[in-house]
Every structure is written in structure tokens, then in C-alpha cells.
Structure 1
Amino acid sequence: MFTRSRLARGVFATLLAATALAATACSGGGDSDSDASTLSVQLSFIKNTQNAGEYMADSNGHYEDAGFTTVNLIAGPTAVEQSVATGKSTVAMSTAVGAASAITSEKMPIKIIGSVYSKNAFTVMSMDGPRAIHTPKDLAGKKIAVTAGTAQSIVEALARANDVDPSSITFVPAQGDTSILTSGEVDGYFGLATNELITLTQAGEKVVSLPLADNGLPLAGTSFAVSQDMIDNHRDELKAFLRAEIQGWRDAIADPEAGAQLALTKYGADLGLDEKKESQQAKDQIAFIANSETEDGQLFRLSDRTMSDNIASLKLAGIDITEDDLFDMSLLDEVYAENPELAESAK
């Protein structure tokens, strides 16, 4: 069962060097700057439905129409930020937390140029009953399972955003196994509404979900991270990528089952994915992609308010960064100005 949180997968600092080599091997060893017709996208996780838009962009010819003759969708998990910082991939699927951590802690010259999940899918799950976590106030005195990386700091930020003392929470290593929650070993489990919550619910468990985005911690989820060098010197290439992505995700939103089937039968065919779960994820994730966090009708383009809210949330997590250091929405601004029909079709 693949139940590991994407948040945990973004910033394994101790594996940076090794994973950079792995990314190089997966992409054929070439530098993304060497050939503008080659697109290498470092995914954050296995090839499941969370990348339905990429599968649609590839299968429906949008990448090819944008000028990319070779497309490498590189499976994770790996240190995605390192992949783009070193030029081993054109774009990497990061998060606001993962990219901000890499920028501030590792001094990586990267930025987010758009967010697929403009609204994060992070949630604290608990079993229905007397120990259920219905509100952030219920976090006090509870045992919460978290995966490695920055998961604990995000739950602590959720607590601070709601005037709960983080020290009142006991954190337990989750190791990607939700049985720690269903067995009663912990009171809560930090994960994803588009992954673990679906799996638990479909297994017949009565789960209470406390979504972070609706409880004072708006953070961008899956996001396009690129190097500053790519922004400065390969702007047209990135804009072509964004156009193809917008079209691919429009297709995935219009026909979520088609995206799920591509994961099941083509891109992740060898992974033994669960069809029922993948189909549900394809539908559920739409709410995190097309919502009020973006500019009107503009997929991926975070609004000014959303970016400001992200910076405030990151500060609660102990990450001090400015909007200009983390985000660059100018490429999307140009894409939508040059192709206004993309925004109209996304409404």
C-alpha cells in the first residue's frame, strides 16, 4: 500500500547527492539545458493518478504540440528540489514547504512558477469516537503520527495558527503505515485527503478528517519548481511547458476517469495500483486544483492573496522566506496574456 505523504518525500536532505545521480540515470544522463526539445519532469512520487494531468498532456499530444519531442516523466520519491537545482530535470514537482525549505536551508536557487494543487490536500485523520480530532483545539494532548521530513513542523504550524501549544502534542514516527492509526496506537495521522484518507474510507474505516487548508494553514501543494537559470535563460521553454500542462490538466478535470485509466494501464501499469482508489483520487483532487486560491479561471496561477497567505503559514512552520524568493508567477501571467482562451476554458 502506497500511503506515504508527499510532504515527507520532498526534503530528504541526507539523500540529496544520491538522488541527484538517480535522477540523472532515469533521464538518460542528459542535462535539461542541453536540448530544448527534451522535457524531463521529476515527479514527487510513484506514477499514480496524482499526475493525471501530465499523463494527459503526454498522451493527448500537448507536450509534442509545445515543441517537446522527448518527454521523461521520472518517478519518485526522491529529492525533487535537488533535481532542478542541479539541472538534472527541467521541472520538479515540489510543494511550497519543500521548495521553501530547500531555498532557506540548502540555498538552492529555485522558485515555484505555478501550483497544480493551489489548495493543499494535507489533513490530520483520526478515528471516529471519543478521541477524534474534529477541530484544531482537539490536537492538544493527542498522539499524532507523522512521516519524516517537515511533517511535524507543519502540524506544529497548524497548532500555532489555532492558538494550540505545539508542545502539548506527542509526535510518533508513522513510517508510511496507517495501521498505526486504525490500531489505536496514535490518535491522529498526518497525510493526504487524496491518498490515505481515500484508502482508509474505502476500507470501511470511519475517519474524521481535519483539513489544514480549511483550518488556518493554506499552503500550496503540488507545485512546479524550476531553477532560476531556467527562468532567466530558458523562459520560452518553461512557458511552452506551462501551456501543455494547462491543457493536460484541463483534460484531466474534464474526464478524471481517463486520467486514472492512464495511470492504471500505461504510466503506472507495473505498480499494482488499486483501480477503485485511483478513480476516486482522480475525482477528489479536482477540488484542490480548481478553486478560489487561483486567479479567475487560471489554473496554477496563485493569487496575490494566496501567495501572501502561504508566506504567513510557512513562517508558522519556522520557515522565513519572502514571496519574491519563493514564487515567480510572471511566466503564467505571460502565458495567459498570450493565450487568453486557456483561462476561459478552465472556468
Structure 2
Amino acid sequence: MNRRKALSRVCGAVALAAGLALSPAARAADKLLVRLDFSPWGMHGAMHLALQKGWFKQAGLEVEVQDGTGTINTLQLLAAGQVDVGQVALGTMAVAKENGLDLMSIAGFARTGDLAVLMDEKQGVKSPKDLAGKKIVCFTTSPWAPFIDPFLKVNGLSRSEVSVVMVAPSAMVSTYASGNSDGLMTQAPFGQPMVRKTRPASALLLADSGISFPSYGLVATPSTIKDKGEALRKFVDVQLRAWKYIYDGHIDEAVAAIIADRPNAKLDPDVLREQLQAYRPFFESPSKPGLAFGVQTDADWKAAIETLEKTGQIKPGRVPADYYTNALLPN
């Protein structure tokens, strides 16, 4: 071996050793494009907190976070390969999968169903039967949309008895708050804090009508899981640690992070704080309370599958493994 070749090998070895010694943040970062369900609100806390504190960068990730225009739109963009990860309603993901979108949940946060009909407290609505003759607003890309008719049917109601009016997403809360509707279809922990100061609302949870499925979590396509598995593992780990940090007494930090990341959104910190507080009980697994954040169970998904089959949202024969994986969670 001549001196030139020997020197070249030595230099290569030194460069390799130096590369291995670099911290994750110093190496080329793995890029991920993340899309949320909607415009900024409390459930985005872990995402913005991780951005503000630099936790993604520390994990060797370059993460761009987009606001969304509804869960359905985010799912469509995921399936089309235009984004890598979506934070969306998992029950809606299951319906979208039935309609041909190749998707998989990789972490579950709000594992208890949160969809509800919110009604003016003064109306004294106690059960779904009391909704007859009422005007309720929703929007077409809402997680509620696939479940409106099944919810009415299971409670012996129809669209002719309950007026469900579709409005723009941005107009739904204001339509209710101004008195132009009797109620709204939304997530209870999202909506009740939004209207508390103007027109306090009671909640009829969809789960109380026997319609049960998981709420918010992270979704990717099988191809993205295959191609960017290591980056997704890092991403999921950061998000789980962020949620634990938030609920270990740091909700106000999450609120501040959302506002700092979206300074032009005119966000009410009280609403964001109340949304985060209200969501904590929904983070529990219905089948296994106390389960670590992110972990999904066959039992929870079996209940969801049964519900979705009964309501005609999916065909018989589906199994939990069709919808979720825990493979990307920390060991």
C-alpha cells in the first residue's frame, strides 16, 4: 500500500469516527412535515412546546408544523404523500381507511371518545331525545361528520326531526355563541371552554349513546412508516415526553408555546388552558386506565370496530391491527 492510499484510509477513518461522535442535533436532521387537524387550539400544546423548547432539534429532527383545515383534509394529504405525519381524530381515520386511504395510527393520545353535542345550559337538555326540534351546527370536515346519522339513528331520531346545519369551520362557534343555533357538534373538551364565557354549554357525549372510538393521535401511511421509521420513532418519543411534561404541572408552558408559535392567531390563553385541562381525563384508555401515553390497545380498538360496524362506517371483519401499531413507541 502506497503512502497516499494509507493516508486516505486514515483520514476516512478519522472522519467516520468524528461523524459518529457528533450529537444527533449536529448531524444532518431528519425532516418531517407534520399537519395538524385545525387552526391552533389546546390539543396542539405538545407540538408547539416541543418546537419552542427545541426538543425536536435535540432529537435530530427538522420538523415543520402546518395548521389544518379539518381532520379529513389532513388525512387526504397524508394518503397522497404530501405530509409525513398528521395529528387527527383516530375514529375518523378508521372511516377514511375504509374509503381507501392507506393509513395507520402510530400513537394514541386522547384514547377516550370526546365527540359531543353541546347545548345551551339554559335549555336543560338531558338526553339525545331532547334534541328534537333543535338547530345544531357542524362543519363538513369535522370528526363528527361521519357519525351524525348513526348518532341520530341509535337515539331514534332523524334529520327531519333535528336540523343539522353545516357552516364554515371558523363560523361554528360564533354561530352558536351569537344564539343563531341551539347547539353545536364538536369535541366536548374543545368546545366547552370556547363558549364558556359567552354561552355556557352542557355536553351529550357520543360515547354515552354507545358509540365509542378513540380520539386524537398521530397517523402516518405504511410507506412513510417503512421509509422514515427511525425519524418517526424520534418524533413520537418527543411528543410523548412533551405530553407527560405538560400534565406533570406545565400546562401554562404549553399555552405560552402555542401563543408564541402562532402570535397572529389572537388566541385566548384561558381557553387554551381550559382545553388542556379538560382533555386530561380523555387521555385515559377505556380498557386500561393508567396506561402510558401513546399506547393503544386491542380492547379499545375492538370496541371502536364494533361501533363502526354497527353504524355502517366499516365492513365486518376488521381487526385492531388494521388500524394501529405500537411499534414506534419507546420500549
**Inter-partner Cα distance in structure 1 for 2:214 and 2:269:** 27
**Selected match of 1:327 from 313, 316, 323:** 323
1:201 matched residue in structure 2:
196
Q: Max radius of gyration: which structure?
A: 2
Alignment deviations for residues 276-333 of structure 1 (CA, whole Å, 9 cap, x no partner): 212222222222224545674321222222111112222344311523574122315x
Counterpart of 1:39 in structure 2 is: 32
Aligned residue in 2 for 1:122:
115
Unaligned runs of 5+ in 1: 1-34, 339-347
**Equivalent of residue 67 in structure 2, options 57, 75, 90:** 75
**Closer, same or farther: CA 295–277 of 1 in aligned 2, 3 Å:** closer
Which letter does structure 2 place at the counterpart of 1:261? A
Supply the distance in 2 between the matched residues of 1:55 and 1:211 (Cα, whole angstroms).
28
Which stretch of the first structure deviates more once superposed, 266-275 or 80-89? Answer: 80-89
Superposed, 1:142-153 pairs within 5 Å as 142-149=134-141, 151-153=144-146
1:246 is aligned to 240
Per the alignment, residue 221 of structure 2 pairs with: 227
Residue 213 of structure 1: which of 207, 210, 213 is its match?
Answer: 207
Aligned to 1:11: none
Deviation of 1:246 (Å): 0.8
Tell me the number of residue pairs that the alignment of Structure 1 and Structure 2 aligns: 296
Cα deviation, 1:92-128, whole Å, max 9, x if unaligned, reads 12222432233222x2211112222212332111123
Partner of 1:133: 125
Distance in 1 (alpha carbons) for counterparts of 2:146 and 2:40:
27
Please report how far the alpha carbon of residue 50 of structure 1 lies from its aligned counterpart in structure 2 after TM superposition.
1.8
Equivalent position to 1:159, from 148, 152, 158: 152
Q: Is the 8 A contact 1:57 1:247 kept in 2?
A: no
Preserved CA contact (<8 Å) 1:85 1:110: yes
Q: Does 1:262 align with 2:257?
A: yes
The separation in 2 between residues aligned to 1:168 and 1:153, in whole angstroms, is 18
Identity across the alignment (%): 19
**2:138·2:165 contact (CA, 8 Å) conserved in 1?**
yes
In structure 2, the CA distance between the partners of 1:75 and 1:152, relative to structure 1 (3 Å rule), is: closer
C-alpha displacement at 1:233, in angstroms? 3.5
The residue type paired with residue 219 of structure 1 is F
3-state DSSP class of the match of 2:150?
Answer: helix
Query: SS at the partner of 1:202?
Result: coil
Aligned-partner residue type, residue 217 of structure 1: I
Equivalence map 1:148-187=2 (5 Å): 148-149=140-141, 151-164=144-157, 168-175=161-168, 176-182=171-177, 185-187=180-182
Instruction: State the Cα distance separating 1:181 from its structure 2 match.
Output: 3.6
Distance 1:118 1:148 in 2: 23
With over 3 angstroms needed to count, the CA separation of the structure-2 counterparts of 1:152 and 1:40, relative to structure 1, is closer
**Structure 2 gap ranges (5+):** 1-27
Q: Residues of 2 paired with 1:152 and 1:234: CA distance?
A: 31
- Residue 307 (structure 1) aligned to one of 301, 311, 327: 301
Task: Map Cα deviations across residues 185-213 of structure 1 (whole Å, 9 max, x no partner).
Answer: 5433112223332121122x242211223
For 1:296 and 1:54, locate their aligned partners in 2 and report how far apart those are by CA, in whole Å: 22
Q: What is the CA deviation profile of residues 242-280 of structure 1, one whole-angstrom value per residue up to 9, with x for unaligned ones?
A: 11111111112121111011111x111121111221222
Farther-moved stretch of structure 1 (79-88 vs 222-231): 79-88
With normalisation by structure 2, the TM-score equals 0.79
Q: Which amino acid aligns with 2:203?
A: S
Counterpart of 2:45 in structure 1 is 52
Classify the secondary structure of the residue corresponding to 1:102.
Answer: helix
CA contact (8 A) 1:295 1:303 kept: no
Change beyond 3 A, Cα 1:113–1:127? same
Tell whether the 8 Å contact from 2:114 to 2:282 is kept in structure 1 after alignment. yes
Q: Secondary structure at the match of 2:196?
A: helix
